[in-house]
Each structure stands twice: as C-alpha cells, then as structure tokens.
Structure 1
C-alpha cells in the first residue's frame, strides 16, 4: 500500500512538473552542453555531501537552484535538479525505492512552488537583470523553496512514518534558513559573473561550495557523535549516583531517547534459569498501555526474532528491511510495524544480562554508527542494571523480613519518619494501623513453632493481597504487623483495615502440626483472628512517635480488652 502511494504521489508530482514546464522547454535551447554539464557537476558535488543538522540533513542546493533559475528559468532548474538529485541518491545508496520516488516528487513540487512565488512578486529571469530589482524576488524564492520543502517533508513523514515532525522542526527550519541565507549571495554571485565568465563560473564555484559542504558535514557529524558519546558518558556516571532499580530503568530509557531516533524502545532481561528473554519495559509512539503489558507478560526464546538472535549470538544485529522472521510471535501490531530493527546484547563481565532493541517504521532507519553506539550503550546499561540488582538484593537483606517477605521494623521506622515529614510539609494525612494476631501463642503451643511460622506467612500474604498499591505493609515484630497509609485519613484507612480483618477471619490456614506423635506432621486447617489499632495524623498525633503510641493504645485498649477480633480507632479506644 505504501509503495503504491509512493508511486501515485511521484506520478502526480511529475504530471504537475511536466504541465508547468511544458511551455518553457524552449529554454533548453539557450543552455549549451558545456553549461549544462558544469551546473550538473556543481549540483552533484553539493548533493553528495549532505550536512546532518539536528534530526535532518540539509544541502546547499537552493543556492545552485537560485542561480540556475535566474539564468535559465524553471524548466531547466527543475529537471536539472531532478537529474542531479537522482544520481546523488543512487551514489549515496538511498533505500528503498519509495524513498527515492518521494524525494524526487518533493523536489519537483518545491521547484514549482518557489518559481511561482518568484514570478508572483514581479521577478524576471535571464542574464543582465538589475540585482537590486532581484533582491526581494530572490529572497522570496529562497524562503518559499525552504518553507515548501519543510511543509512537504512534514506531510511525507506523516504518510511514510505515520507521525508528525517533532517540536524541534521549527528550530531546524530556522537553522537551515540561516545557513542558506548566508550562502545565497554565492548563488547571486554565480548569476552576476556568468555573463562574463560563462560556463566556467559554476566550475569555479564548485570547489569552495563543495569544500564548504564537506567541512560543515564533517563538523556536524563530529558534533553529533560528541553529543551522543557525552550521553553515554553521563549514563556511566549515573551508575555511581543512582542504584534504585526503577530509577536506573527510567534513566536508561531517557538516555536512549536522546541517543537514538526510534519509534519504539524495548528492554529485555535474561531469565537465566529458563534461558528466555523477558520484556521488562516497552516505550514508543502509538503503543497502548494494554499492548505493552500484554507483550511484557510473555517471554522471548533465545534465537527468536532479532532480539533473541542478538542474545544468542552475543553481538549487535541490524536489520534494515524487517520481515515476519525478524519479529517474535506474540508481538503487538504496533511493534510488528517496525521495518528497521537494531538489537544490542547487554553483556557484563562476559555474562548476558539482557537485550536493548530499537525499531523504526521505515526501512533503512538506522545506520552502522547506530549499531556500534547501541552496542556501547547496551553494555553500559548492563552494568547499571547489575549494580542496581546487587543494591536491591542488599537492600532486601537489610529491610526485608526473611520469614514473611514483608518489610521489617527497620524499614518501617525509616518510612514512618520519611512519610510523616512529607505529609506535614504537604498538609496531607497519614494513617497507621497496628495488627496483632489473637491467641497466637496458643497456635505455637498446640501445633508447634513451624505451624506458627506458617500462620505468619499466610497472614502476610493476605495483608499484601488486600492493601492498595501505595500502602506499606511491615512485620512489626513477633505476631504484630503494621500498615502505613500515605495520604489517607483514619476514615478511609478504617475501610481497608476492616476488609483485611474480615479476610483474615474468613480464610482457613493450613498448617503442619509438628507436635503430633506421628512420624509425618499432621496437616491441620485452622482459623485465626486479629485485633487492630488505628491512629492518624493530624487527627490523633502530631509526631511519628505519638502516632505509633496512639495506634498501639487503640489496639490494646479498644481492641484486645474489648473482646479481640476488632478494629479500634484511637478516638474510640
């Protein structure tokens, strides 16, 4: 469909070009073969050294187009530009064919539009014209040439990639306008000198213009490379300053977006036990949250698709025309639309950590430089993830209770003071619920301490399953638990607490009675209840310690002493 559309646009543009220039074909007779060859050579030399600027490439062809147009008119300028652009794109190995067709169509329309603007304001072509009379028409010609070029480019991006240009497009247009404005006097000089020097004029200017294009090209290439390497270096510095897992992943994706122009970014991590890749995060234009979640819920076999192949071969892979074999079976439609894919294995100390994959909706969307840079970036990201993984593991050993998997008292104390200060500054409430299992000693005495541990583990699971994502569940000590409710008053916290109390009361817990005389522990189903005390800031406490003290008082005065299996708020204790 896209190829058919490209051909249709190309034919429409060429039909308009032929119709517009048909009455001016006699201008070709005024152009000698030597002049034609000289201008063609100048066009060619400038076109084969495009200047990378921001997220686009610019050339000084408007300067040559201006001189050619002023001397010979729109017919010669348009078709000479078409021939030079076609040959230069073939030399630069532009791919695919549709891209060549759309570029030719765009330049044809640009030539017609710029010529129309020139003639509309009274401009006259041919040698010997007064330069003062040409100043305004010439400025309008250059401005229209560049403006129509950018507008058409935006429409073609929408047609070809399915996205509109970014907000930086205006700055890119201003930059290209400034570059050509500085160089446009050269086009006017070619026009002025042509009357005395003849076809030698474009040959004379070919050396400085080509040198200028080459130097600017090298400058912007080196500048872009320097900026990209700075981003990688900044990522490396981040490793020592940021060790939290989620923050590291955020930084990896933020840096990737600065480094690479892509439509999707995918981070896979290796499941070493099952030897599969697990999508950890997917970002990109046009990707719905549901698609991303569905994709991340599946795994990718090593060797499957470009990402799996990069993991298996442990080297970066670049595919410029992706087919079905380069995708994985369960990719969402938005990811399957990627026609260019580059994947870099994330390797740390010879060990595969994961794969970072980029995709674009156009073919030939990445360069060999992107592939090399992605390989460097992926290895730096691997180091960041490994450091974060070790840090999280150490943190878990420090702050997580090994029996229940809940946060321990040390973490509770740290979070209590941190959240309390935040609540105080923001003027928001915070609530604390303390939970104590009723008659827990009876479980240990009747069934053994292993059964008691199983009860603690079961209750911990129930607590985690029945709180909100923002709530913090901790083991306070022994058979006591706490829940911190950020941005929650005691009325809302009581609703959650009552739900948990009923769930604990209604859920049977299977334990192994190790005190039985049989060789094999007997499996027993028991039920347990809990008492709760609730207090909140600012309703009941003004500091963290009084919040704990009042919740604890509510637990024992309003909960335990009034019959157990109940939730008491400090006010009613």
Structure 2
C-alpha cells in the first residue's frame, strides 16, 4: 500500500507540474535573453553543487539566482531557469532520474503560482525599488511555502524517517539563508539593469565564494562532530553504564556523524546466533529480523567474515534480494562489533537514499564501532559481576540482599505514584522430609524446579527471590493483596499439580503462601514482610499446608 501511494503521489506531482509548466510556456512564452539565461543557469548549477545536505534537504544559495532571474525575466523565465537547474543537478550530476522529474515538477508548482500572484498584486518585472520589496517578499514566501509543503508530503509518502524528525530545524535553516539571498538577488538585478553584462557576471562570483566558505565551515563542523563522537565513545568506555544505556549512546553518537534513517545492533550468544538488541527508525524492532544464524544473511555474513560491508546502492545490489528489510532503503553500512578481534555482534546503519555514505563515513563508523565494542564488552562483564552478586547461585532467583533493596525501592515508588505493592511469601511443605528421604542433591533439584515454576507464573517486572532455605518471596508492584492472591493460587496449583522428575523418581511437592500488601495491610517494608510471613504460617501452615492466605489486619 505504501509503494502504491508513493507511485500515485509521484505520478500526480509530475503530471500536474508538467501541465502547469507547459501551459505557462504556451500561454506566456519565455521572453528571455538566452545568453544571460545560460550564464545564470551555470551559476545556479554551481551553487547547487556547493550546497550543503542537511538530512534529506539540500541547502544552497541557488535561489538567489532564481529570484534575480525572476526580477529580470519574469515568472516563466525564472521558473524555467530553476526547473532546468534542479533537473540538471539531480539527473546529470546525481544520476537520479525519477527525483529529477519530481524536483522539476515541484519547482514549477512553486515558482509559477508565486510569480503570477506577484504580478496580480501589482509587482513589476524589470524594476527594482523600495516599493517593490513587499511584492518580492510575497513572491519568496509563497514559493517557499508551496515548495516545502510539496516536499514534506513527497518525503512523507516515501517514509523518510530522518527527514520528519528534523523537519522544523531544516525549515528554519533554509529560512535563514533567505535573509542573505533576497538582498543579494535584488542587488544582482539592480546591477544588471544599471551596469554592463560583464560587471553583472563579476557580481555573481561572490555568491560562489560565500557558498564555498559555507561548505568549508560545514566540513569543519562535521569533523568536529566526529571527533566529539569518538570522545563520547571513549568516555562511555570508562563509565559503568548499563548495556541498554550504552546501546542508546552508540546510536545517538552515530546519528551525529552520519545520516541515519534506521539502525540496528545485533549481539551474538554462546551459540553464535546474532540477536537484535536495539533498533531505531522504520518500525523499530518490528522492522528488523529478530535473529540470524552464523553466516546467514548480511548480518550473519558480516559477523562470520569479521569485515565491514558498505553498499552504496541497494537498488542495484542483487545479493540482498531475499532480505525484505532492505527493500525500502538505498544504502547501508554493516560493521562487525569485536572483542579482542573476535566478533561479538554487528551494527547496521541504513539510509533511504542511495550513495548516502561516503568513504569518510565508513572510516568513522569503523573507529566508532571499535570503541563501542569495548564499551559493550565491559558492560556485559559488569552485568555478569553484578548479576552474580545479587543472584542466588542455586535457583537463579534474586538473593535476600537484592530483595531487601528492591522491596524498599518498590515501596518508595508506590508512595510516589499512590499505588499498592504486594508481597507473597512461599514456603515448601515438608521440605526437610524430602532432604532426609532423597538427599540434599535431590532437594536442590526440587528447589530449582519450584523456583522455575514460580518465575514462569509471574509478570516480567515482578521480583522473585530466595528468602532463605526453602522459602521464596515475590514482590508484585501495582497489585493489591486480592490480585496477588490470584497469582499465588496459580503458582500453588502449578507446583502441586505436576510431579518433579528426578533421578530417584517423580516427587510431588506442595507449597504454602501468605499475602500482604502496602499500604493497605502494612505501613512499612518490615511490616509487609512480617505480615505476609504471618499469613503464611497462621493462615496456611496451621490449617493443613498447601494453601494461600491473605493477612487480615
């Protein structure tokens, strides 16, 4: 549907622009000095090629030549100049035929109506005066608004994500260039009317110099951003950030140095399978494959070969035909993430335009991914150390130390958000008898399986901890005691209804639980634990075990 919509929009734009332009030529004629026209066209093309790409928009000083041409030639001559200039730049210089016709149609629909409105309001062609300024501003503003209106929807139907994110900023930057271009265009037209053609041509050359200086400044800013990006990556390596924070920082830093329409980060597991851990742009994680086996697809091949891959034109590259993810993009960089030279994942950067990444882009990405790989490796090591310090080694649930901190944190959050938090205390029934009968190794197997069943029956944000011995605790944020009771019952049934298979045969176990919540049934963390524990023993154990009880105030 998206491609069909884009096709209809493009067809309508080209057809409408072509018809309006043909009507203008037939009805009004050109009425231009071709020698002057070719001179202005040459300068417009030069200024276009010295323009600065900002996301999906090119900022250039060529409109100053177009405005000057309008004041000299009139509406049709100026529109012809700008249409010819943009189509030459897009088709001949950038080799994008479809975009050339789209840009030509857009310029025709922008400059012709604006010129006709100028003349309708009383603006004069071939006359430069203070009285004309207001009409000239109307011409500039109307052509600017029409152009950007069409451009916005043209890029929107193409799904150019980055363009939409930077729309307001790019429009303001373009408006800023008109502060220079409008006076320059009026001065150029004045020089043409008052002086010789040679002097007029000489008056055009400062625009080329200014455009060149702007481009040099842009290149310096870009170089500074790239140095800053490397600095940010080095700084990140020396900080103890969580993996998610590091992944966010990597994407943020990369977007500062190269144009990004979408990006993804894959990390490999112990089996060599690359799994998606971070995605931005497009449809987020839904827009990317979840995993790749070793050597499978582009991601698998990059990881296996341990070499960066840069494809400038995805439309012509046949090796990726089977990967649907690349159908809506024009170019990509896929760089392996390495730890001590060994691949640990892959960074994928995509852009909707072809030839979006030059050789400098590839080099800076290589530098950044090397630094990013160190940061990811450090984060994973830090996570492993942290996880071991807060995890019970037998059951892989949280330990008592982490439970205490988590309970306090959840109670403080409950106070801030005026929400409840519940606690379930579980105790295996007759566990000593299991140890005495089957031995402690079998007892350990029972504890691990019970912990697994508890974790499988709670939400992802609930906290399961081994409280001590055969006792477990579950923290349930945002739930009342009555709601937590239903979950506790589900766990009790899951534990008691199925035998635990061991090398000494099937063992049936039961579990008893007590439930309390904050702040309804307890006013502190200590009392919440105490009341849930009291419900466990007074309401459950004392009444025959294999039961769940809620603490009653």
Q: TM-score, normalised by structure 1?
A: 0.87
Decide whether the 8 Å contact of 1:268 with 1:354 is kept in 2.
yes
Match of 2:302 in 1: 310
C-alpha separation in 1, matches of 2:335 and 2:355: 17
After superposition, residues 121-140 of structure 1 pair within 5 angstroms as: 121-126=121-126, 129-140=127-138
- C-alpha contact 2:41 2:81 (8 A) present in aligned 1: yes
Residue 280 of structure 1 pairs with residue 272 of structure 2: no
Q: 1:147 aligns with which of 145, 152, 174?
A: 145
Q: Are residues 310 and 328 of structure 1, via their aligned partners in 2, closer, same or farther at CA, if it must alter by over 3 Å?
A: farther
1:534 paired to 2:515: yes
Give 2:453's aligned residue.
462
Deviation of 1:12 after TM superposition, in Å, equals 4.4
| Pair 1:49 & 2:50 matched | yes
Pairing 1:403-552 to 2, within 5 Å after superposition: 403-513=394-504, 524-552=505-533
Shift of 1:300: 4.1
> Residue by residue, what CA displacement relative to the aligned partner does 1:221-267 show, whole Å, maximum 9, x if unpaired?
33244345434533443444453233333443444555554333221
Q: Distance in 1 between matches of 2:451 and 2:318?
A: 46
Counterparts of 2:443 and 2:509 in 1: how far apart (Å)? Answer: 11
- Compared CA separation, residues 149 and 468, structure 1 to 2 (3 A): same
- Mark the runs of 5 or more structure 2 residues left unpaired by the alignment: none
Q: For each residue in 1:190-227, what CA deviation from the matched residue of structure 2 results, as whole angstroms up to 9, or x when unmatched?
A: 21122332221332123211011111122233324434
Q: 1:416 and 1:206, CA in 2 relative to 1: closer, same or farther beyond 3 A?
A: same
Q: How many residues align?
A: 548
Which residue of structure 2 lines up, in the alignment, with residue 520 of structure 1?
A: none
CA shift, 1:171, in A, is 3.9
Deviations 1:8-49 (A, max 9, x none): 744542342132023443623xx263x344323322332221
Asked if 2 retains the 8 angstrom alpha-carbon contact of 1:429 and 1:489, the reply is: yes
**Are residue 68 (structure 1) and residue 49 (structure 2) matched?**
no
> Alpha-carbon deviation of 1:124?
2.0
Report the equivalent of 1:382: 373
User: Structure 1 residues 319, 95: closer, same or farther in 2, change over 3 A?
Assistant: farther
- Alpha-carbon distance in 1 for matches of 2:353, 2:55: 19
CA distances 1:331-383 after superposition (whole Å, capped 9, x unpaired)? 5x565433322212222332212111122344334444433333333333322
User: 1:299 aligned to 2:292?
Assistant: yes
Question: Considering only aligned residues, what root-mean-square deviation do their CA atoms show, in Å?
Answer: 2.9
Q: What is aligned with 2:94?
A: 94
Residues of 1 paired with 2:52 and 2:149: CA distance? 19
Structure 1: segments with no counterpart, 5+ residues:
514-523
In the alignment, what sits opposite 2:208? Answer: 210
* SS of structure 2 residue aligned to 1:27: coil
Q: 1:356 corresponds to which residue?
A: 347
Match of 1:22 among 21, 26, 29: 26
- Whether 1:321 aligns to 2:322 is no
**Counterpart contact for 2:162–2:260, Cα < 8 Å:** no
Per the alignment, residue 519 of structure 1 pairs with none
Residues 105-184 of structure 1 mapped to structure 2, 5 A cutoff: 105-126=105-126, 129-161=127-159, 165-166=163-164, 168-184=166-182
Q: Give the Cα separation in 2 of the matches to 1:116 and 1:569.
A: 80
Contact 1:94-1:100 at 8 Å conserved across structures: no
Instruction: Determine the C-alpha separation between the residues in 2 that align with 1:111 and 1:425.
Output: 58
Q: Distance in 1 between matches of 2:490 and 2:11?
A: 65
Residues 302-325 of structure 1, C-alpha deviations (whole Å, 9 max, x = no match): 2622x3343344333222332574
Contact 1:277 1:302 in 2 (8 A): no
Task: Show the counterpart of 1:81.
Answer: 82
In 2: Cα distance, 1:178 partner to 1:474 partner: 60
Give the stretch that moved more between structures: 226-235 or 262-271: 226-235
Distance in 2, Cα, partners of 1:37 & 1:325: 41
TM-score, normalised to structure 2, is 0.90
The Cα shift of 1:437 comes to 1.0
Number of the residue aligned with 1:370: 361
8 Å Cα contact 1:266/1:357 also seen in 2 = yes
